[in-house]
Each structure stands twice: as C-alpha cells, then as structure tokens.
Amino acid sequence: MPLHDKFGRQITDLRISVTDRCNFRCVYCRSADPENHVDSRELLTWAELERLARVLAGLGIRKVRVTGGEPLVRDGVEDFIAALRRLGFADISATTNGHLLAERCDRLVRAGLDRVNISLDSLDAGKFQRITRTRSLGKVMAGVDAAQASPLRPVKVNAVLVRGINDDEIEAFAEFARERDLTMRFIEFMPLDADRHWTRELVVPAAEVKRRIEARWKLEEIPHERSETARKFRFADGRGEIGLVAPVTQPFCGFCSRIRLTADGKLRTCLFSKEDRDLKSRVRNGASDAELACYIQSVVEEKEEGHRINEPDFVPPSRTMVFIGG
C-alpha cells in the first residue's frame, strides 16, 4: 500500500540521516561545539536502519538519500548502501561535505551508490575556512574530482548562499559549473541553523541568483518533476547546469514527496515539523513490521500541508538541520 498524505501527495522519497556527527561545523548549520551530538547508543544500529528501510520499501519508497551529519564519518556506511541496493530502491544517493569522498568514492560506487551531492559553499580558501571552520577546501575539491572521474552521475555541488558571506561568488560558482561540466545548485538559507542567526535579510533569493547569472550567460530551463526541489537550467552555449532551490521565496511544499528518518530513529514529515515521531522505541520494544508500517502510514497521513517560514506565526523547528539530516 503506497504512502499518501491527506492532501493526496504520494510519498516516494526518503532521506535517512545515519549520524548527527560531522567533521565540519558550517556556520549556517551547526554550532562550533564539537561535542554537540547525541550519544552513539541513541543512534539506530545499521540493522535497525536496514529494517526500517525494508518496511519503507514495502510502503512504496523508491528513492533514498543517505545523509547526516556527515554520512561518511560513520563506519559501515558502504555496507548500509549495499543493503539498500539489495532492497531494490530505484535511486540511491548521498549528500556529503566531500572531505572523505576522494578516498571513499570507489567503495561507495562498488556498494551501489548511484549519485552524490557535494556541499561546497566557497571557492576561496579563506572564506571556505570561515564558513566550515575547517581548512578542507583542497580535500573537497579532490572529492569533486573523484566523483566526476567515477560512474556517479549526476554530480551535483550544493552551495547555501548567505548574504554578506558568499553571495559575491554566484558568478564564480556558475563558471565552476561550466568549467567542470557539473550541476551547481544554489540553496536558500533556511531557519535551521543551530546558532539561530537566520534572518530573512540573510537569504539570497533564487530570483536574484538567476538574474545575476543570466546577465552573463543565456540559460535554458530544463523540465523537472514537480516533486523535485530544484528548478534546473543549462547554459545555452556550453556545458554545465545550475539548480535553484528556493524553499524560502518559492516554497514547493505542494508537490513534496519526501519524509525523513533521523539518526536517532525519529520520523519527520517536514524539515520544519514541530514534532517528530518516535520509531526507535517501537523498533526496540518489539513492534512487528506490519505494526511499524501501520504506524508510519498514520504519521504520513498527517504530513503538514507546507512549512510556515513565511507566516507571522512561524516557529523554527525544535531540531536543527544537523539533527534532522539535510
């Protein structure tokens, strides 16, 4: 029985956060405190994650994205991806900060990963350090190279734009997409940062990004599925694509097909859900697969109509991006 919510949306996409730990501390995401993560006993084991993935496959989930935290810092992620492959998902992707990608790319491909999104918020070493609080730009670039040299396709590079920090690099990122023949995605900053610094003024609207790129290069829109997060464009005169992800200024909730499983076993029906639903206690207290499926269906049924970032009564979610899994 496929998963539907009460607004008629079919849920086919699952994001699984496999850890809340990360080797970066991006200013728009998590605090500087390296100890800010849950105890590892709170995390679902690989076997528990695999079981929930199997139950969700039975409920019609077709696409799975493995994320975190930083998914590559948890040992065993390749075996988990291989297990997802055996479960028959049509599309298996990962989101990574790229730090460990060059050394792990071959293993990820062998495990059955289809594609990868790599976060890269600046092409300038000093600014990269200011944003991520690491000196890893070279390693991330090596990760991009390794992904492009591998069968992983498409390779997408994600930049979260924050006004006054990296919005001066929009054209440089576009050049990067053209030179490297990859998809550069610009993501609007959302109120999910641990330090609660988000303000509307810090958001760089996707329309501004498009205007600035179009001032230099002609873009052609690429048709996309309505449930996809990005509007996509190719450069009319050559290689490379851009994607605009505009959850703040152009919300796409009406066609959302996603749910999220957090590393500590909570089901979230929206990035901005006020509450998450506990699957871990059910798994650990002996619920059968049928009982889990029934519970998941009842939670998904109540998926929020949309986030309320633009409403006067908006309350940021209790959990920030790093605990939810982007």
Footprint on this chain of ligand SAM (rule: CB under 6 A): 22, 28-29, 67-68, 70, 95-97, 119, 158, 160, 187, 189-190, 192-193, 321-322, 326
Tell me which residue of 289, 292, 288 sits closest to 278, measured CA to CA: 292
Report which residue's Cβ sits closest to ligand SAM: 326
- Copy the structure tokens of residue 197: 């610094």
Q: Which residue lies nearer to ligand SAM by CB, 265 or 317?
A: 317
Q: Which residue lies nearer to ligand SAM by CB, 257 or 292?
A: 257
Q: How far is the CB of 310 from ligand SAM (least distance, A)?
A: 15
Q: How far is the CB of 81 from ligand SAM (least distance, A)?
A: 15
Q: Which residue lies nearer to ligand SAM by CB, 28 or 235?
A: 28
Question: At 285, which amino acid appears?
Answer: N
Q: Which residue lies nearer to ligand SAM by CB, 15 or 277?
A: 15
Q: How far is the CB of 36 from ligand SAM (least distance, A)?
A: 13
Question: At 228, which amino acid appears?
Answer: E
Neighbours of 221 (CB within 10 A): 10
What does the DSSP 8-state code read for residue 305? S
Q: How would you classify residue 161: left for phi > 0, otherwise alpha for psi between -120 and 50, otherwise beta?
A: beta
Q: Which residue lies nearer to ligand SAM by CB, 67 or 292?
A: 67
Q: How far is the CB of 266 from ligand SAM (least distance, A)?
A: 15
Q: How far is the CB of 97 from ligand SAM (least distance, A)?
A: 4
Non-local CB neighbours of 231 within 8 Å, separated by 6+ positions: 206, 221, 224, 243, 244, 246
CA-to-CA separations, 72 to 100, 271, 280, 306, in angstroms, rounded: 7, 22, 22, 31
Q: How far is the CB of 188 from ligand SAM (least distance, A)?
A: 7
| DSSP letter string, 161-213 | EBTTTTGGGHHHHHHHHHHHT-EEEEEE--S--TT----GGGB--HHHHHHHH
Q: Which residue lies nearer to ligand SAM by CB, 119 or 257?
A: 119
